[in-house]
Amino acid sequence: MFKYMKSLLMGLVVISIMVGCGGAKNSVPAKNVVKGQTLHISSKAKYEGDIAENILKECTIDTQVMKYIKAYSAKQGFNVVVDGKPKANENVLKVSITDAVSSRSGYRGHNKYVTISGKLYKGNKLEASFKGARKSGGGMFGAYKGSCAVLNGCTKTIGRDTARWLSDPKNNAKLGDAYLIK
């Protein structure tokens, strides 16, 4: 009996390490990005939709998601400009947070997710758009993490998803945990 419980516990530990709003950790090499190409983004994503009041008051997911989009896009080869004035032929990415939930589910820990939408413009012309979502239960030791920290993990993963999409943007793409997208 003890041997069975030990195996079950080890399996749960491995699964919790793999889950926590992560997905794959390796960055996909950029295919269509020209090194040094300029991408303009805002320092904050817009809130659109019904965002829980506790998230608006306590967390900064609007700035976090843009911070991660900037960091991962730079790794993909973009020259990222925050809150700058784009020239007529430069790329502009506009991002909105369309939904965010921060709740707990008793013994299971956190139940958090963030959904965003993005539109990529070349000058004034819409090139492509996407919707993305990421969910987390907090991962390993999630019970010891605060709500904003778990939501931050979701924004980090969405930032990575967005940068991958930017390297080969497809119109109306769905990124991440697509089943959460409404």
Phi/psi region, residue 139 (left: phi>0; alpha: psi -120 to 50; beta: rest), is left
**Can you tell me whether residue 32 is helix, strand or coil?**
coil
The CATH number given to 35-180 is 3.40.50.10610
In order of 55, 70, 154, the CA distances from 100 in angstroms are 8, 21, 10
Q: How far apart are CA 62 and CA 50, in angstroms?
A: 14
- What residue ranges do the domains of the chain occupy? 35-180
Give the pLDDT of residue 28: 38
Spell out the SS3 assignment of 109-144. CEEEEEEEEEEEEECCEEEEEEEEEEEECCCCCHHH
Phi, psi (deg, nearest 5) at residue 5? -65, -40
As averages over each run of 10 residues, the pLDDT of the chain (182 residues) reads: 45 38 40 67 93 90 96 92 90 94 63 91 93 77 64 93 93 93 85
Rounded to two decimals, the pTM is 0.77
Give the pLDDT of residue 18: 35
**Can you tell me whether residue 79 is helix, strand or coil?**
strand
**Can you tell me whether residue 173 is helix, strand or coil?**
strand
> For 15, how many CA atoms within 13 A lie in the half-sphere containing its CB?
7
Contact indicator for 72, 160 with CB cutoff of 8 Å: yes
